[in-house]
């Protein structure tokens, strides 16, 4: 019996030591898995954006696109985020919503811009979505909700248009996990501070929407997909308390007014 136990232990040790040795190798690089994943994400992003583009009208007004671009560029530059990886699309829609698609596509509805009182509030929401992109939350959510097999079948054209439509709908109208939302909020605040944008207006925007939440929930999609706004606003304020925040406006008040005017037209 003693022999059997010793030999059994040797086999178990052999198993785990082989595993330990193999774990030292970065198989993802060896098999080019990262590249393949990135390609899948890229294809999904383009596919989802094509679908969104078909159903809504894109805003190409220079005042609007340039202003949003200035905000995004400031955030990216200050945080060493590759600017070209964030693809901004502004769509005409009354909903107060913004959401991220795979491969860095960020959709902003005109309703969200109009709901913001100043550019810092809008910057907060945009930064929150950029944080979701940078922290790879979009793919994580998609894999969790839909499964890798369905996602891959979408990219190979084996999935119906309806499934793709439903997936885009899910991305635009459902929340991430609470932990992911918190992580994105904290990351967004970090990004804002580094970009010299005061995060307080972002918290104020959440407070404001939380107050309006009860009566106009159905119109305020960003709030319905991001619950507990009051609580979030509070921890953002708390998180910023000891930080040294310098604030330099990204765009002038005049440009902001012009931007809103162009959207109202």
Partner 1 sequence: MINVTKFPYEPGDHEAEKASNSYLMSLIALIVGLPLPIVNLIATLMFYLGNRKGTYFVRWHCIQALLSQFSMLLINSYGFWWTMIMIFGSETLSSKYISYIIVVLIFNLTEFIATIYTAIQTRKGLHVEWWFYGTLTNVICKSGA
Residues that bind partner 1 (CB under 8 A): 1, 3-4, 7-8, 10-11, 15, 18-19, 22-23, 25-28, 31, 33, 37, 140, 143-144, 147-149
Q: Which residue has the tokens 């400031």?
A: 74
CB nearer to partner 1: pick between 140 and 212: 140
Q: Residue 158's Cα: distance from chain center in Å?
A: 27
Shortest CB 160 distance to partner 1, Å = 19
CB nearer to partner 1: pick between 32 and 94: 32
Shortest CB 150 distance to partner 1, Å = 9
CB nearer to partner 1: pick between 17 and 252: 17
Shortest CB 51 distance to partner 1, Å = 24
CB nearer to partner 1: pick between 37 and 225: 37
CB nearer to partner 1: pick between 151 and 184: 151
Shortest CB 185 distance to partner 1, Å = 21
Shortest CB 11 distance to partner 1, Å = 5
Shortest CB 49 distance to partner 1, Å = 23
DSSP character string of the chain: -HHHHHHHHHHHHHHHHHHHHHHTS-HHHHTTHHHHHHHHHHHHHHHHHHHHHHHSEEP--HHHHHHHHHHHHHHHHHTT--GGG-EEEEEE-SS--EEE-GGGEEEEEHHHHHH-SSHHHHHHHHHHHHHHHHTTHHHHHHHHHT-HHHHHHHHTT-S-HHHHHHHHHHHHHSPPPHHHHHHHHHHHHHHHHHTT--SHHHHHHHHHHHHHHHHHTTT-HHHHSS--HHHHHHHHHHHHTTS------SS-HHHHHHHHHHHH-
CB nearer to partner 1: pick between 36 and 245: 36
């Amino acid at each position: 019996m003693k022999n059997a136990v010793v030999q059994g232990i040797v086999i178990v040790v052999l198993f785990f030591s082989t595993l330990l040795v193999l774990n030292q190798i970065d198989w993802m690089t060896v098999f080019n898995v990262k590249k393949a994943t990135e390609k899948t994400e890229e294809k999904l992003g383009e596919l989802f954006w094509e679908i969104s583009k078909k159903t809504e009208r894109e805003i190409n007004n220079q005042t609007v696109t340039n202003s949003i671009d200035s905000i995004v560029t400031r955030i990216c530059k200050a945080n060493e985020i590759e600017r070209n990886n964030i693809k901004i699309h502004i769509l005409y829609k009354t909903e107060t919503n913004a959401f991220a698609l795979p491969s860095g596509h960020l959709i902003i509805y005109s309703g969200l811009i109009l709901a913001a009182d100043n550019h810092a509030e809008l910057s907060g929401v945009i930064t929150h979505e950029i944080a979701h992109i940078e922290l790879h939350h979009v793919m994580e959510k998609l894999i969790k909700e839909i499964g890798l097999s369905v996602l891959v079948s979408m990219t190979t054209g084996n999935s119906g248009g309806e499934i793709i439509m439903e997936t885009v709908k899910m991305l635009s109208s459902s929340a991430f996990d609470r932990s992911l939302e918190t992580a994105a909020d904290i990351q967004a605040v970090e990004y804002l501070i580094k970009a010299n944008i005061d995060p307080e207006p972002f918290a104020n925007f959440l407070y404001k929407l939380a107050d309006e939440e009860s009566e106009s929930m159905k119109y305020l999609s960003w709030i319905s997909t991001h619950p507990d706004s009051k609580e979030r606003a509070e921890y953002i304020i708390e998180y910023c308390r000891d930080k040294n925040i310098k604030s330099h406006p990204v765009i002038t008040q005049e440009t902001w007014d012009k931007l809103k005017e162009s959207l109202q037209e």
